[in-house]
């Protein structure tokens, strides 16, 4: 990496060595991982670098996300729906829960009534 060599030279010019402390002060720190660069058009399609200017493509710079793995042991609060740490949210089913909500709102008394919460 060219920048790293330049940074080390700059430090040497100031009489400093490249070490754990000066490494933390590197102005480029944190962006080295963004090494994927590609051109994309307004619809998000990949564009060859030679065609980027004529297609008015924008340069996209990105990196992979860190792989994540949940902790081996979870707190009991993650399974308590009343706790803010609850992790098992069940999104409403688009048809079943919508029908159930509409059914409850109409306060239907027809038989068979599948929802006796009203």
Domain ranges of the chain: 1-30, 33-64, 76-106
What is the residue-wise DSSP string for 60-79?
EEE-PPPP----SS--GGGG
What single string gives the DSSP state of each residue in 81-99?
TTSTT-----PPPTTHHHH
Q: Minimal CA–CA distance to 118: which of 106, 101, 104?
A: 104
pLDDT for the residue 81: 82
User: Could you tell me which of 72, 55, 1 has the C-alpha nearest to residue 32?
Assistant: 1
Number of Cβ within 10 Å of residue 44's Cβ equals 8
Q: Give the per-residue pLDDT at 115.
A: 47
pLDDT at 34: 67
Tens-level pLDDT at each residue, the chain (118 residues): 688 889 999 999 999 999 988 888 888 777 766 678 899 999 999 999 999 999 999 999 887 776 666 667 778 888 888 887 777 767 777 777 665 555 444 444 444 444 444 4
The model carries a pTM of 0.36
Q: How far apart are CA 85 and CA 76, in angstroms?
A: 9
Q: What is the number of helices (H) and of strands (E) in the chain?
A: 3, 3
Q: What is the pLDDT of residue 113?
A: 46
Residue 49, pLDDT score = 94
């Amino acid at each position: 990496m060219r920048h790293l060599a330049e940074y080390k030279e700059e430090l040497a010019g100031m009489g400093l060595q490249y070490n754990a402390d000066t490494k933390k002060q590197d102005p480029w720190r944190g962006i080295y991982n963004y090494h994927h660069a590609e051109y994309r058009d307004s619809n998000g399609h990949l564009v060859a670098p030679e065609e980027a200017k004529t297609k008015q493509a924008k340069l996209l710079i990105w990196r992979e996300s860190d792989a994540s793995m949940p902790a081996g042991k979870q707190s009991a609060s993650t399974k308590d729906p009343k706790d803010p740490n609850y992790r098992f949210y069940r999104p409403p089913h688009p048809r079943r829960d919508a029908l159930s909500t509409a059914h409850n709102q109409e306060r239907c008394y027809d038989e068979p009534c599948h929802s006796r919460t009203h």
